[in-house]
Amino acid sequence: MLKDLYEVIEELSETPEDWGEPSFSQEQYYDTVPLSEENLNGYDVKNGDRVICCVDGGNNKIYESPTDSIDLIKIYFNLFRGKERVKNFDPWTAFLVSEFENDEIRCELRPLNDSLPIEKLNYVLKDEEMEEKKPSTAGHTIRKYLEWKAMEYAVEEHLGPGDILVKDGVLQTTVERERRFAERTYEKVEENEVVMLGIAKTSSLMTTTGYPLVASVNSMARETDKDLWYYHPIADNSNPDHKGEMYIVKYHPSSTYAFRTEFYREKSYKDEVREDVLGHLAFQAKDPIFLGYPYGLVDADKKARVTDEEVEYLKNMGDNRMNKTFRDKINSVNAHDKLSNI
């Protein structure tokens, strides 16, 4: 078995003769730039006075049935200056109760604390907002809305000119309501003269030859003398739902990772500002817990994560109060999980 595995690994490890060019599914919005070593730029680590705010959210299902779902949602942001935490916050935490009714998903948030001033607690998801018309998918949708709300609040209350707002993930929206949340965040970013970025932990971007774009750039950079670098430009982006100007960035010389990084493209940041901001993030990317990934995002991911262990505890405690009617509903979809635990 191992011999067969090694053969497959060797086959997939071959370096392509041609990397191709960046490729996008909505190609009408992206005027791509051919891959070239000339687009690799070095930059320096910086430790200055810019405050860095990283925002993330997490959700996990506690119970689900075809008609109902209960999720635990957490939304969190932090504030760092260099490696020093400026202020400590608790993650905003809530139960999300979702019910399928009349071809809609009705959602109610039940906050467990007041770490964020979340005022809207009821949502009705319709049409494009519903993923497969399953209430169990509502947690992902509502969590995205709340992340934008947390970013808006963080900018308005805690960030000023030159400070840095980092979103976990790219600066792209998928449905109309999310666009409205995002626009309010962008307005605050412009008013307060904040530098906004999105950094994606993973990237599905490909080249025209079917090779991962981030891997192509990373491999290309290894053939140069640049240890700390960013790759730009990738494409001229005119997608109205995607407000990111795309970069690929390596944040630590000894890391094997590079990350898709996006600056808010409606703001004309000068090149020296962009390099200075990347330098501040590189200063944060020295922690061995995940070398090459800004620590603010590591912290945000950890504080916002809803773990399986946490959910399992809540399930076990809730089972003691569950009547047969509700148990019948959740048993209609949980047999696979039961077998997996045997």
Contact 209, 16 (CB under 8 A): yes
Q: Is the pLDDT of residue 338 over 60?
A: no
Beta partners for residue 107, in sequence order: 98, 123
Identify the residue whose tokens are 């490909």.
206
Identify the residue whose tokens are 């996006």.
262
Least confident of 128-142, 241-255, 269-283: 128-142
Q: Is the pLDDT of residue 57 over 90?
A: yes
CA distance 280 to 49: 9
Cα distances from 292 to residues 138, 203, 206, 264, in angstroms, run: 33, 16, 22, 22
Q: Give the pLDDT confidence of 237-267 residue by residue, as tens digits.
A: 999 999 999 999 999 999 999 999 999 998 8
Q: What is the pLDDT of residue 12?
A: 74
H-helix or E-strand spanning residue 180:
helix 176-191
Among 1.10.260, 3.30.2170, 1.10.1740, 1.10.150, name the CATH number for the domain at 39-307: 3.30.2170
Q: What is the pLDDT of residue 167?
A: 97
Q: Give the pLDDT confidence of 283-296 residue by residue, as tens digits.
A: 999 999 999 999 99
Q: What is the pLDDT of residue 339?
A: 42
Identify the residue whose tokens are 């491999």.
219
- Angle of helix 176-191 relative to helix 138-158, nearest 10 degrees, comes to 10
Is the pLDDT higher at 9 or at 309? Answer: 309
Q: Which amino acid, one-letter code, is at 117?
A: P
Q: Report, as an integer, the average pLDDT of 105-131.
A: 92
Computed over every residue of the chain, the mean pLDDT equals: 90
Q: Is the pLDDT of residue 28 over 90?
A: yes
Q: Two tokens at 256?
A: 């094997």
Residues above pLDDT 90, as percent of the chain: 70
Contact 106, 172 (CB under 8 A): no
Q: Report, as an integer, the average pLDDT of 264-281.
A: 91
H-helix or E-strand spanning residue 272:
helix 271-284
- Alpha-carbon torsion angle 87, 191, 300, 268, nearest 10: -130
Q: Is the pLDDT of residue 212 over 70?
A: yes
Beta partners for residue 263, in sequence order: 197, 245
pTM of the model: 0.92
Least confident of 51-55, 88-92, 144-148, 325-329: 325-329
Q: What is the pLDDT of residue 133?
A: 77
Q: Is the pLDDT of residue 214 over 80?
A: yes
Longest CA pairwise span in the chain (Å): 66
Q: What is the pLDDT of residue 66?
A: 82
Identify the residue whose tokens are 């390099």.
275
Residue 271: band (very low, low, confident or very high) from pLDDT cuts 50, 70, 90: confident
Residues above pLDDT 70, as percent of the chain: 94
Q: b/e for 62-77, b at 16 or more Cβ within 10 A?
A: bbbbeebbbbbbbbbb
Q: Domains of the chain: which residue ranges?
A: 39-307
Contact 136, 70 (CB under 8 A): no
Burial class (CB in 10 A: 0-12, 13-18, 19+), 192: middle
Q: What is the pLDDT of residue 327?
A: 62
Q: What is the pLDDT of residue 341?
A: 60
